[in-house]
A and B are shown apart, each in its own frame.
Chain A
Amino acid sequence: MARDKIRIGCGAGFSDDRIPPGVEIVERGELDYLAMECLAERTIARETLDRAKDPTKGYTPVLLERMEAIMPPALKRGIKMVTNMGAANPMGAARVLRKHAPGWGCPDYTCAVVQGDEVTDLMRAHPELTLMEDGAPLESLLPKMASANAYLGADVVAQGFATGADLVITGRVADPALFLGPMLHAFGWSYDDYQKLANGTLVGHLLECSGQLTGGCFADPGKKEVEDLAGLGYPLADVWADGRIEISKTPGSGGRLDVATCTEQLLYEMHDPSAYITPDCVLDASGVTFRQTEKDRVVPSGARGKPRTPTLKVVVGYFDGYMGSGEMGFAGINAVARAKLGIEVVKERLRRRGLTYEEMRIDLIGMNSLHGNDAEQAPEPYEVRLRIAARTTDKKAAEAVGAEVRSLHMQGPTGAGGGINFGARQILAVKSVLIPREWVKPEIVMEHAA
């Protein structure tokens, strides 16, 4: 299927992203493709645990709510969809959708599933691999491993669409690849045409965080204004077969798309701009420029592509103990001194119970909780909230943190009120390894055939 131009929209930029702008871009964006990126680094570990408890689960929990809103208008307009909401169970996602979609007025559609990103067996077979973060052997994590998934590339997304599917559901795929995949498929680009891969990867990188390109994460009243931030629209890209790209957003939506918003998003979560590594290519964005052609329309240029690396990145999720926390508020005269007394009381009560922690963090919310600055130098606020958080391998010790903070209501300094966020949770941490890409064997499976 050779085409001259396609239009790709972003329908979601994280798992719990707002759904209404996704519906708007489907209804008003005149899209050919819609990509929904919903899988953060550690999310898949949690979904892997869900699947272990119930083999039908393990997909992104918001899948049904999002797709009930998006699928009917998208299928009606012939818009093809791709999403990584399959998480730890792409086939499970496809099956549960099939169960519900007829009730949404979508009895007929085809769905391709990308499998093979899960590599826990490979990890167990290769304990000698080295962790990228600290150089330690992978072996040290294996007893605590919860998940391991390789970042797949755009080639498998394109193969999904090559089946004629209306919907491609994946697990772990590199975020920009969700956008590059439709381009590979629609234009038949060579997987070795690195200039085009670079342009497509740049589009994916810019669009993958939805509203962060179009005025989200940007407004600063009196300094940087964003028109109708409440009605923020999601971004879309026109892509031509020759590799030209142009960025825009849902017509009539709020927000702003210009050189400033594009520049911020270009460098978002980028380290060396000359070497942004994806499974598909190494994007050199160091010479990228943006030209505003009209309101909310920007032409990026100057991306260069270098050959992809021989490795794929694997994110390993592992259990790393428990974190307990609690918060309590104080206001009015001497509020900060009372909060500080509350902190000392909680620490002393935990100590007298014989509980110890690997790490404890104390915040005075309103004074130093976000920037970690010296509270003694911060102006004294009218109200302040103490927060205590601690990490431990002992679940009961973690739970005790919140319980002791909660008890400040009755057994702490005077006027302790508005306690919240008491509780303990198991920590799912992540580390990474690189593996030869030929170790990973992705496959495309049709949902109806499975």
Chain B
Amino acid sequence: MSIRVYDLAHARAGDKGNTSNISVTAYSDEGWAVIQRELTPERVLAHFRHLTPGPVRRYELPQLRALNFVIENALGGGVTRSLAIDPHGKSLSALMLTIALPGHNQAGASG
């Protein structure tokens, strides 16, 4: 059984140069426990691998139930020279939310 990040959290993407940063904020404490454990930088990089070789850094803000992912080299050379239709990567928050994670029960049982 798996659960989508979309079901647990909301996200927003920002840009600086060729780096995208995407915050992921859980709706509940239960959701926070899952994303904190399962939404690892490795998992995020695997999901964004077609856009960037990485690296991906993850920052935790537990008091806000939020993770901040900094994804380097993800914006086609940077906002100003990218050929992409969305050079800022504004829509990449929605890509983050499509990641599938091991679900509550499975994660709870194994963790």
Using a CB–CB cutoff of 8 Å, the interface residues on chain A facing chain B are 41-42, 133, 217-218, 220, 223-224, 259-260, 263-274, 286-290, 302, 320, 323, 325, 359-361, 363, 365, 369-374, 387, 389-391, 427-430, 432
Contact = CB atoms under 8 A, between A and B. Distances in A.
Contacts of B79: 41-42
Contact of B64 (A218, A263, A271, A370): A263
5 contacts: A217-B12, A263-B66, A274-B59, A369-B85, A389-B83
Given A288-B64, A369-B85, A371-B92, A260 B50 contact: no
A448 B72 CA distance: 47
Contacts of A263: 23, 25, 64, 66
A430 B94 CA distance: 27
Contacts of A290: 64
Nearest to A361: B83
Contacts of B12: 217-218, 264-265, 267-268
B85 A370 contact: yes
Given A133-B18, A267-B66, A320-B81, 17 more contacts: A268-B14, A269-B21, A270-B21, A271-B57, A273-B59, A286-B59, A289-B63, A323-B83, A360-B83, A369-B85, A369-B86, A370-B86, A373-B50, A390-B83, A427-B80, A429-B81, A430-B78
Contacts of A429: 78, 80-81
A321 B83 CA distance: 12
A85 B107 CA distance: 51
A432 B10 CA distance: 32
B80 A428 contact: yes
A287 B81 CA distance: 35
A269 B15 contact: yes
A260 B68 CA distance: 14
B70 to A, nearest CB: 5
B93 to A, nearest CB: 9
B1 interface: no
A286 B62 CA distance: 9
Nearest to A431: B17
Query: What size tier do the contact residues of chain B reach?
Result: 35 or more
B95 interface: yes
Contacts of A365: 85
Interface string B18-35: 110101010000000000
Interface of B: 6, 10-12, 14-19, 21, 23, 25, 50-51, 57, 59, 61, 63-64, 66, 68, 70, 76-81, 83-86, 90-92, 94-95
Nearest to B15: A269
B10 A387 contact: no
Contacts of B23: 263-264, 266-268
A223 B93 CA distance: 15
A387 B76 CA distance: 16
Nearest to B63: A289
A42 B16 CA distance: 12
In the complex, the 10 A-B pairs of residues with the closest C-beta atoms, listed nearest first: A269-B14, A267-B23, A361-B83, A264-B12, A389-B83, A429-B80, A370-B91, A429-B81, A268-B14, A371-B95
A269 B25 contact: no
B10 A286 contact: no
A265 B10 CA distance: 12
A391 B83 contact: yes
A218 B25 CA distance: 12
A286 B14 contact: no
A272 B59 contact: yes
